[in-house]
Structures are given as C-alpha cells and as structure tokens.
Amino acid sequence: MERIIMDWQRIRSDFPILDQQVNGHPLVYLDSAASSQKPRAVIDSLVRFYERDNANVHRALHELSNRATDAFESVRGKVARFIGAASEDEIIFTRGTTEGINLVANSWACANLKPGDVILTSSMEHHSGLVPWQLAAQRTGATLRHIPVLDDGTLDMDAFEKLLTPEVRLLSIVHISNSLGTINPVREMVARAKKTGAVTLVDAAQSTGHVPLNIADIGCDFLVFSGHKICAPTGIGVLYGRYSLLESMPPWHGGGEMILQVRLEASTYKPPPARFEAGTPDIAGVIGLGAAIDYLQAVGLENIEKHGLELASRALTRLDEIPGIRILGPKSGPRGSLVAFHAEWAHPHDLVEFANSHGIAMRGGHHCTQPLMKRFQVPGTTRASFYLYNTPEEIDRLAEVLAAARKFFA
Ligand code: PMP
C-alpha cells in the first residue's frame, strides 16, 4: 500500500492567522481545545456566500433564497455522513455543544423524567455537561449521580457499574475530556447503559474533527459538538438525535419555521429537524461548517488523529523533563490532543502570561471543569492543546519556554 507522508507545514500554511508575530515571536497557537483556527477554504466559503448567495433560507422562491437553502440543506447530509448518522433528518443545527445539551435537557429530560429517576454523568464533564442536568433535575425532581475519576485521570469503571441501576434514565458522558485528555470508552459505556434501558448522550466537543467518529459504532441516542472547535465559524454546532427519540420530543424554542400551523391559542409543529430549529438559523455558519468538514476529510481523520497523538506524546515527554511539572490525565496510551499540567513553581495565569510574552497561546484556569480541579486539588491548570496545524517544532518551543519560565519564577 502506498504510504502517504503528510506535509503538516503545508497544512499549517492553509491557516492565514498563524503567519504572524506575537510579542516579537512567531505565533505558536496551542489553544485549539478552546477554539480552533480556520483554514482559507472556510474563510473563502463565508466570503463567497455573502458576496454571491446571501438570503434567508426556506422562505422565498427567489433565486438567491433557493441557492442559500440548497447550500444550507446540503450541509445537513454532509454532517450526517461525517458522523455516520442514519439520516440527515437526525441532524439539528444548534449554536454549539452547550446549546445541544440544553436542548436535550429542556426537551427530552423535562418531558420524560420524574422523581426517582436518575441522570448519570461523570465528575470530568465540562460545565455544559453538568449545569443543564442540574437545572433539569431541579425541574423534574430527578436525582444526579456522578461517576468518579481515578488518580490516573480515567473513569472509575467499577463505580460506573454500581451506579448504573435501573433508575438511571439518562447517561451523559464526555468522549474526550477537555481538561485531562482522557478518552472515555463511550462505546462500551453506551452499550452497558442501553442494557438497563437508559438514553445516552455523548459530548463529542473534543473528539469530533480530531478522531474518526461513527454514530452507528458508538450507538448513542444523542451526540453533540461545536463547529468552532473543528475549523468552522463560531456560533454553529450540531445535535445528532436518534430519529425515533427526536420525533417523540416536544419543541424547546418556539418561533418561525418550526410550525405546521399557528392559531392564536396553540400551534402544531413540524417533524424533526425543523421542530428544533426555530427562527433564522446561522446560515453562513452552516456553510462554513460544510467547508470545514470538506477540509478535514481531505486531510483525513485518521491522519489528524495520528498527528494529534504524536504531538501530545512529544509534549508529555518534553514536559516530563521539566522539574516541578505535574501532568494531569493519562501519561501513556491513546489520549486526546492536549496536555494539561500544574507547575508547582507558578500559578497557571502567570505561566500563561509568560508564555504569551514569548508568542505562545495557551489557556490557564479551570477550563470549565471546577469539580475536576477540586478532585485533583489544583487551583487550575495550564493547558496546551493541539490541532492539525501544529508541528513538533512548536512542542519543542513550548518546552524551551516552559524551562525558561521555571528559571524566571523559581
Ligand atoms: N464540552 C466540552 C468537552 C468542551 O471542551 C466544550 C468547550 N470547551 C464544551 C462542552 C462547550 O462547548 P461550546 O462552548 O462550544 O458550547
């Protein structure tokens, strides 16, 4: 078989923003877990849309509206194929992961849960995988349970087995932790939860666009992700929902486009996905999402996954050489494309500022996972996160700057 050697420098040059100096140094962008950069192809797709095709969708019969509607709706099928959904009608456009989880919490959970029911999630969830369930529990009287995290940053699977009683109606679990890099065994967990009749949701904010994803393989009922983390614009995201479930769910937002008929007193609603997309959607965002998926698929998800793991492994090795750095999450084996650590000689905010003065963009703080920071007894961590445009040389530069930071702070 022909071996394809990826030219990651060439891929990097597809991202215009990376070609700049920050504080007198070449920019090293290591904050993709928060938000990714955009390739020229995505930026161009937005300009093209606004210059040639812009109009509202689904509403008019004029040429521009038809073009905008066709372009918008074609992305639904593209997303379905990208994540292995059975039908494009299972793809709902949202503002992002947060809105997707809130949609399920407000629609499915509020319509189905009652006192005595249990929502099972974990202690490593992003706040957007915790707070919507707290709100739903408060409204329905359901109880929350959390799978604990072991010292090595993996989930306590023995505890999971014990917590997964027949009262569990929903399992909501993060695929790749944004704070640890842990890859959770979502396929096995979903299969286990299905046996007890629970509905399952996977937060794929950090795995979509980083590893090949397949709904049919994972077997979950709901899956959510954000466009801005996979090279698409901000403001657009996806909720995948199994059609039979979506069909049974009441609308969450009311407004234009989600209705069949409106009377002054009451209305009837369209079937999914329209039922869950009230008002004018983020049309340009959807066009950009389509361009981002094309771009990622041209590079290849297997290639991106391999590159991400190589960068993370190199970072683990290089950071381990620096005294006083404690890495959180798995130290070996498969992991997400990020490394989070606590340096005993500097507060994460000071460290991030020091790195910034050397042109390196990282994130410091609790990363929207306060319970996890408490679990590991750290005020916060510094996180370096990688994507397809990062290079091994940038990891070496990170290690060099961190070594200098140690001298500076110590
Ligand atoms: N879940 C995880 C695992 C995340 O990393 C993030 C973003 N940091 C979110 C949910 C929330 O995503 P968004 O802010 O795009 O809605």
Closest residue CA from atom 5 of ligand 1:
178
Low-confidence ranges of the chain (pLDDT < 70): 1-5
Q: Which residue from 284, 278, 277 is spatially nearest to 89, judged by alpha carbons? A: 277
The angle that helices 40-48 and 283-299 make with each other, rounded to 10 degrees, is 150
Asked if 322 and 346 count as a contact pair (C-beta separation under 8 A), the reply is no
Q: Which residue from 399, 410, 401 is spatially nearest to 345, judged by alpha carbons? A: 410
C-alpha angle 103/107/111, rounded to 5°? Answer: 155
Work out whether strand 143-147 and strand 118-122 pair parallel, antiparallel, or are unpaired: parallel
Q: Which residue from 179, 216, 186 is spatially nearest to 201, judged by alpha carbons? A: 186
pLDDT at 1: 41
For residue 179, the CA-to-ligand 1 centroid distance in Å is 11
- Strand runs labelled E in 205-294: 222-226, 237-241, 259-262, 267-269
Does 69 contact ligand 1 (Cβ within 6 A)?
no
Residues 225 and 358 in one domain: no
Residues 283 and 169 in one domain: yes
Q: Which residue from 76, 86, 305 is spatially nearest to 207, judged by alpha carbons? A: 305
pLDDT at 4: 58
Does 36 contact ligand 1 (Cβ within 6 A)?
no
Does 96 contact ligand 1 (Cβ within 6 A)?
yes
Per-residue pLDDT tens digits for 266-317: 999 999 999 999 999 999 999 999 999 999 999 999 999 999 999 999 999 9
Q: Which atom of ligand 1 is nearest to the CA of 97?
A: 16
Residue reference for tokens 């993996």: 154
Q: Which atom of ligand 1 is nearest to the CA of 226?
A: 15
Calpha distance 306→302 (Å, rounded):
6
pLDDT at 138: 98
Sequence-ordered list of residues with C-beta below 8 angstroms from that of 377, at least 6 positions apart, any chain: none
Establish whether the linkage from the previous residue to 323 is cis, with ω within 30° of 0.
Answer: no
Q: Which of 266, 298, 330 is the last residue of a domain?
A: 298
Residues 85 and 72 in one domain: yes
pLDDT at 2: 46
Per-residue pLDDT tens digits for 109-138: 999 999 999 999 999 999 999 999 999 999
Does 203 contact ligand 1 (Cβ within 6 A)?
yes
The preferred substitution site among 99, 122, 125, 126 for testing ligand 1, maximizing ligand atoms within 8 Å of CB, is 126
Residues 156 and 243 in one domain: yes
DSSP 339-376: EEEEETTS-HHHHHHHHHHTTEE-EEE-TT-HHHHHHT
Cα dihedral across residues 396, 4, 45, 205: positive or negative: negative
Residue 106, domain extent:
43-298
231 annotated active-site:
no
Give the DSSP H or E segment for 203: strand 199-203
For residue 35, the CA-to-ligand 1 centroid distance in Å is 9
Does 126 contact ligand 1 (Cβ within 6 A)?
yes
Q: Which of 298, 317, 343 is the last residue of a domain?
A: 298
CATH code of the domain covering residue 148? 3.40.640.10
Residues 220 and 288 in one domain: yes
pLDDT at 66: 95
CATH code of the domain covering residue 372? 3.90.1150.10
Residues 258 and 163 in one domain: yes
Q: Which of 298, 315, 338 is the last residue of a domain?
A: 298
Structural domain contains residue 80? yes
The total number of structural domains in the chain stands at: 2
Please tell me whether the overall predicted TM-score, pTM, comes out greater than 0.95 for this model.
yes
Tokens representing 272?
């999914």
Please state, in angstroms and as integers, the Cα–Cα distance from residue 116 to each residue in 113, 137, 142, 165, 345, following that order: 9, 10, 6, 12, 47
Residues 125 and 17 in one domain: no
Asked if 183 and 206 count as a contact pair (C-beta separation under 8 A), the reply is no
Taking the CA of residue 177 as centre, how many other CA atoms within 13 Å lie in the half-sphere pointing to its CB?
29
